[in-house]
Amino acid sequence: MPLTKEDAVLPLLAELSAAPGTPILLADGSSSDGIFLPFLLGPLTFAGIYIGIYRFYRNTDKRHRYERETKVAVGNLQQDDRRTGRKTGQRSRSMDGRNDTDHLTRVRRLRVQ
Amino acid sequence: MTLPPEEPRDAHEPRPAEPAGSGGPVPPAPQEPAPPREDSGNRFIDTSSGRDDGLNKCPRCGSTEIEYALGAKALVCSHCRHTWNEQNAEKLFGLDSSIAELQGHTLASGTADVREDLTMVTLKCQGCGAEVVINAEQSVQARCHWCRQTLSLNTQIPNGAVPDALLPFQLTREDAIARIEEFAGRRRTFAQRRFKEEFVPENVMGVYIPYLVVDGNMHAVLTGDGEVTTREYTVTVGSGDNKRQETRYDADVYSVQRAFDLLVDDLTVESAERFDARDNSAATNNILNAVQPYDVENAVVYNSHYLKNFTSERRDLNVRDVDHLVEEKFLSIARAKVQPTVRRYDRGVRWTGEGVAVRGTRWVSVYVPVWLYSYAESASGDSLVHYIAVNARTGTTMGSIPVSHPRIFAAACAGGTIAGIVGLVVGLLGFFA
């Protein structure tokens, strides 16, 4: 069955929203009232189609999501949350260095008894 | 999680390698299943189920002419047509006991360290007394050249050829071919022309791939910072023509700590270096990784007749080679599991410290079944091998198809040009409006 237009467009939209450079480009555009934004449509579409088709064929990003699909039991949860300060006038909706959804990147190892 | 430095020893003494034709030692006498024993802090489980090397007979008539029949999903004796399956390995060997009670490292016989130099194993035929050499690198069975009995490697030997348990094939070859055809059929438009010409899904092979399956009992600790939005407002910035509205956020900052017990059941890790998902340089090994998970809790006790008519990959990674990777997987699982407890931090959490104290682990070596179609991207020796894999238990299919970059480039150019013209018109209209 040949690749349909829908097959190509859906990955494209996903890629456009996921591409790391997209928000920066869009932000740059918005800083000048977004006047240059339409002119970026061509290059962005090109990159989106190329990456989208490549991933659809090669599936280089696919893996076993073991951190979610492995059977796990959790118990004896202890929580310690203490307010330590306050930030004002932050430009971003998310905090710097947020990694609560990035389970595969390791951070400083603690020695646990 | 580091295992003690001592070599984990099998319940059976390793048998020396012997060159073909030189005869060899008589295999050890049949044994009763040995109770778990402890050694240097490690606990060992004998998973050989007391079966001797050599003849692996039909329980009804004693014939060794046995094959795994996919239609019946069972072993079938060619002589008396008796069909049966081996017992569930978890239940037989007590591998389903409570993970919360695991202390130290428990190792099943099939996880003993592999030995590269032990490839030729001599078995004494119990039918006629002849000595037959098996190359354990390539096969786990051979025919006695005198009495035609099938001789099998049944007991775990230190070259890693024999696992503790295996999952028999469930999906038929025809089902697998259909799934591979469908997968590749949806990806024909931009596939390499040579791939389309040479694509023969009937070349799919049934392969048993070795995995180490780990249970873990641990305590995890995570520390970091989290932020909660307290106010969202707009401010006016710039001046003159550059004057604009921007959103700003105020937030409370918290120190966040979570500590909890974690029981992990049946975490799988590749134990053949050739198929290790971390290395995709020579083949698309992530494809084999992506067709998981397998229902390893249904694995049956190893019987070499399950392997007949299929190929099998030898395990060449020891427990010690992958224990660091397993600990990292435990940490990833801990991070994923703790996520629901930090939902109140709408600006997110930045974890800065993580650790697990592993109280106990249990390791088992298991063969899992895969229908595998492989295709070398070019004729040169170092070309990338593309896999299309079908999980022969669940039917999950994943693959990699070699792409034609000029064709993708042309499609992307066409799409980009149309979008560019539209953007240009819209942009110019906005510019002059």
DSSP conformation letters of B233-301: EEEEES-GGG-EEEEEEEEEEEEEEEEEEEEEEEEEEE--GGG-TT--SSB-HHHHHHT----GGG-EE
Residue A31 CB neighbour total at 10 angstroms: 13
- Decide if B254 and A82 are in contact by the 8 Å CB cutoff: yes
Window A:17-56, CB contacts with B under 8 Å = 31, 33, 35-47, 49-50, 53-54, 56
Any chain A CB within 8 A of the CB of B184? no
DSSP A14-66: HHHHH-THHHHHHHHHHHTTTTTGGGGHHHHHHHHHHHHHHHHHH-TT----H
Q: Quick one: pLDDT at residue B189?
A: 93
Average pLDDT value for chain B: 86
Listed as ranges, residues in chain B with pLDDT below 70 are: 1-41, 49-54, 156, 158-159, 381, 433
With an 8 Å Cβ cutoff, are B337 and A74 in contact? yes
Q: What is the pLDDT of residue B24?
A: 34
Touching check for A4 and chain B: CB below 8 Å? no
* pLDDT tens by residue, chain A, 113 residues: 333 433 433 343 344 444 444 444 444 444 455 667 778 888 999 999 999 999 999 999 999 999 999 999 999 999 999 999 999 999 999 999 999 999 999 999 999 98
- Residue A5 phi/psi, 5° resolution? -65, -35
- Chain A 60-79, CB below 8 Å of chain B: which residues? 60, 62-64, 66-79
Residues of B in contact with A99 (CB under 8 A): 348-351
When CB atoms are compared, the residue of B244, B251, B418 closest to A90 is B251
B62: left (phi over 0), alpha (psi -120 to 50) or beta: left
Asked if B408 lies within 8 A of A50 by C-beta distance, the reply is yes
B80 CB near a chain A CB, below 8 Å? no
Tell me the pLDDT tens digit for each residue of B89-140: 989 888 888 999 999 899 998 888 887 777 777 787 777 877 787 877 777 7
Q: Give me the residue from A12, A41, A101 closest to B420, CB to CB.
A: A41
The reported pTM is 0.82
Query: B58-100 pLDDT, tens per residue?
Result: 999 988 889 999 999 999 999 999 999 999 998 988 888 899 9
Q: Which amino acid is at B7?
A: E
Complex ipTM: 0.81
Q: What is the pLDDT of residues B26-35, one digit of tens each?
A: 333 333 445 5
Of all helices (H) and strands (E), which one includes residue B195?
helix B193-198
Q: Which residue of B has its CA nearest to A48?
A: B412
- Residue A47: the pLDDT is 95
CA distance B57 to B73: 18
In this complex, the residue of A2, A73, A85 whose CB is nearest that of residue B189 is A2
A95 → closest Cβ in B350, B398, B413 = B350
